[in-house]
């Protein structure tokens, strides 16, 4: 699970946005773009930004105990932060975090049945790992091209990949197998054509390691 915190007003971000598009093609990686809003004062308001993504990035920083808040920043498997335009560091972080107990160890499935999303989370198989977490669904737009009119990226068209458009908590996981059904209308909005479900240790205020995740196209 690769989360990119990006901004349309950040001149260093377009290379990172491109990397997310490349990683999104790898079926073993769930790559997401989470546009933040704290650079809006620089003269160009990010049209995809959400204050919840800024809060999520800050929460990761608090859990790590540092003040590393910048764009483009990538958080890998909820555990490690690297510069979002550094492909080698991202791939290294994927390998390193995957070795930790419990990280991406919980099988998660999500299927679309009519107008319902069915989410299933298996029981924990790692005794020493976290045996509880929160289950969230992200509404995702696979690709959004933006012509940037002002700021440092003025005149550029940048395509943002797997852009999170909404976040919805669907339940708490206690280590045992669980399932949830979510009406599609609860996550739908214009341009949403995919969904990601993830199980994460900790809470929204104190996010921990990613325990499992799944991606599905909605059309």
Topology of 2-217 in CATH? Immunoglobulin-like (2.60.40)
Q: Which pLDDT belongs to residue 113?
A: 92
Report residue 126 as tokens.
Answer: 């790692």
- Name residues whose C-beta falls within 8 Å of residue 123's C-beta, 6 or more positions apart in sequence: 175, 176, 177
Chain-wide mean pLDDT for the chain? 94
Answer yes or no: are the C-beta atoms of 67 and 172 closer than 8 Å: no
Q: What percent of the chain has pLDDT over 90?
A: 84
Q: Above 70 in pLDDT, residue 8?
A: yes
Report residue 11 as tokens.
Answer: 């001149």
pLDDT in tens, 126-159: 665 557 899 999 999 999 999 998 878 888 999 9
Report residue 174 as tokens.
Answer: 């206690």
Report the C-alpha gap between 171 and 87 in whole angstroms.
Answer: 33
Answer yes or no: are the C-beta atoms of 208 and 78 closer than 8 Å: yes
Q: Parse the chain into domains and list their residue ranges.
A: 2-217
What pTM did the predictor assign? Answer: 0.95
Signed CA dihedral, 178, 179, 185, 191: sign only: positive
**Torsion angle of alpha carbons 184, 189, 193, 197, nearest 10°?**
-50
Answer yes or no: are the C-beta atoms of 31 and 2 closer than 8 Å: yes
């Amino acid at each position: 699970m690769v989360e990119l915190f990006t901004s349309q007003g950040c001149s260093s971000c377009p290379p990172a946005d491109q990397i997310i598009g490349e990683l999104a093609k790898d079926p073993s990686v769930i790559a997401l773009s989470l546009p933040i809003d704290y650079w809006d004062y620089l003269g160009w308001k990010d049209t995809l930004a959400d204050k919840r993504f800024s809060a999520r990035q800050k929460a990761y920083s608090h859990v790590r105990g540092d003040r590393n808040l910048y764009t483009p920043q990538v958080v890998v498997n909820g555990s490690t932060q690297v510069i979002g335009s550094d492909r080698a560091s991202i791939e290294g972080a994927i390998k390193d975090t995957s070795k930790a107990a419990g990280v991406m160890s919980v099988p998660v499935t999500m299927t679309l049945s009519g107008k319902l999303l069915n989410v299933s989370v298996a029981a924990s198989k790692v005794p020493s790992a976290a045996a509880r977490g929160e289950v969230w669904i992200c509404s995702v737009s696979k690709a959004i091209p933006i012509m940037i009119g002002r700021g440092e990226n003025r005149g550029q068209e940048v395509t943002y990949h797997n852009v999170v458009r909404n976040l919805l908590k669907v339940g708490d996981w206690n280590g045992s197998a669980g399932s949830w059904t979510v009406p599609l209308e609860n996550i739908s909005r214009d341009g949403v054509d995919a969904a990601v479900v993830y199980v994460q240790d900790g809470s929204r205020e104190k996010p921990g390691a990613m325990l499992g995740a799944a991606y599905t196209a909605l059309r």
